[in-house]
Amino acid sequence: MVDEAAIKRAQEHFGELLKKQMERIGRMKASKDETDLSKIDKIIIGVCGGDGIGPYICNSARIVMEHLLADRIKSGNIEVRTIDGLTIERRVEVMKAIPDDTLEELRKCHLILKGPTTTPKKGDPWPNIESANVAMRKELDLFANVRPVKVPELGVDWVFFRENTEGSYALGSDGIDVSDELAIDFCVATSIGTERIIRAGFEHAKKSGINYVSLVTKANVVKTTDGKFLSTAEAVAKDYPGIKWDDWFIDIMTAKLIDPYRRSDFKVMVLPNLYGDILTDEAAQIQGGVGTAGSANIGSKYSMFEAIHGSAPRMVDEGRAQYADPSSMIKAVAMMLNHMGEVEKAAKLEMALDICCQFEKKKTMTGRSNGATGDEFAQYVMDTMARSDIKAVWQSYVDAAIAKAKTK
């Protein structure tokens, strides 16, 4: 039986969604917002702890960040600001993904270091409000979610460019329960949104001397939005004649990432939002787990740096939040430093992280009181950075790991 009234209600809801998306396209087209960090007298970095283990690991990362930027902070060229208000309690209290006053504070920053935030799902004790991550990415138009994954001994050196404001996430909290029997969600692709992420991937390849970009979609099934992704890639690729590109379906790419004969061929991967979410967790696991991966959310005006994992509320409930591993957030700091042009400091921090997490492991993080605390680990990373032979130490570890992998 067809419930005409239900269809009418759904059509009206859908009409509203279309209107909002068209308005968004208008805003993207009209936007002249651009931040050139090299031209700003005072760069404001907002530190937003989030909730669960977020404030703990974010604070450990902040210690490292402030240590590395001490001179610029002292000279007044950088101001680091604490931004509260992204806790699940506060978000539920005002029933908003990001409380208005918090968003206002975030908009006053140029760069944001953000801890994980709890994202409720249907059935949780919390009301099913939109994810703070997703809302921040959309509100600040952070369209490129850049996630590097490196495992030298496997020859793996990937950078994922995950579209961050559209796809299945754009209307992820705006699906329609048409009737008790029928639920519909939406997937969104705009020309401008698709082009800018693909271009970001190609630009990164060009700047880094990489001559290979892979597009990942499911355009054989999701024909309209993923189809647009693919046809846009064809057009954009023409501007980069020196770069070879190909396209893969997400299912086979998931398999190829664990194919030891094939995976080291991939370099830059560009994908729609949801596939990017899933594939980057798999990639991070190959590197050692989601706790090891950082993420840069880049827009034209703002940029936000975060872990790729969640807020682990269980660790807080069990009183062991101070033992949570801050590596992902420290990695996010390295990405922020790179973005600011502090390339040498970023490289040193990354080397120190590799030494501490993958090789030397003098302070083990177990997530419990038999392991190091996040702050102890941060100190270990800073002590490692202070070593004058850090580069040689790092190189010798990597060479040994590669040699060992070859004998397997």
Q: Pick out residues in 103-122 that bind ligand IPM (CB under 6 A).
A: 119
Q: Among Mg ion, ligand IPM, none, what binds residue 289 when CB lies within 5 to 8 Å by partner kind? A: none
Using the minimum distance from each CB to ligand IPM, give the nearer residue, 136 or 355.
Answer: 136
Using the minimum distance from each CB to Mg ion, give the nearer residue, 152 or 310.
Answer: 310
Stretch that binds Mg ion, among 44-52, 217-225, 277-285, 350-358 (CB under 5 A): 277-285
Site mask, ligand IPM, residues 304-323, x = CB under 6 A?
Answer: ----x-x-------------
Using CB under 6 A, pick the residue from 131, 168, 232, 322 that binds ligand IPM.
131
Residue 163 binds ligand IPM (CB under 6 A): no
Stretch that binds Mg ion, among 2-10, 198-206, 272-280, 347-355 (CB under 5 A): 272-280
Using the minimum distance from each CB to ligand IPM, give the nearer residue, 69 or 332.
Answer: 332
Residue 277 binds ligand IPM (CB under 6 A): yes
Using CB under 6 A, pick the residue from 45, 134, 236, 329 that binds ligand IPM.
134
Residue 133 binds ligand IPM (CB under 6 A): yes
Using the minimum distance from each CB to ligand IPM, give the nearer residue, 308 or 329.
Answer: 308
Residue 163 binds Mg ion (CB under 5 A): no
Residue 190 binds ligand IPM (CB under 6 A): no
Are 231 and 203 in contact by the 8 Å Cβ rule? The answer is no
Using the minimum distance from each CB to ligand IPM, give the nearer residue, 227 or 310.
Answer: 310
Q: How far is the CB of 281 from Mg ion (least distance, A)?
A: 5
Using the minimum distance from each CB to ligand IPM, give the nearer residue, 51 or 277.
Answer: 277
Q: How far is the CB of 282 from ligand IPM (least distance, A)?
A: 12
Q: Which residues bind ligand IPM (CB under 6 A)?
A: 119, 131, 133-134, 277, 308, 310
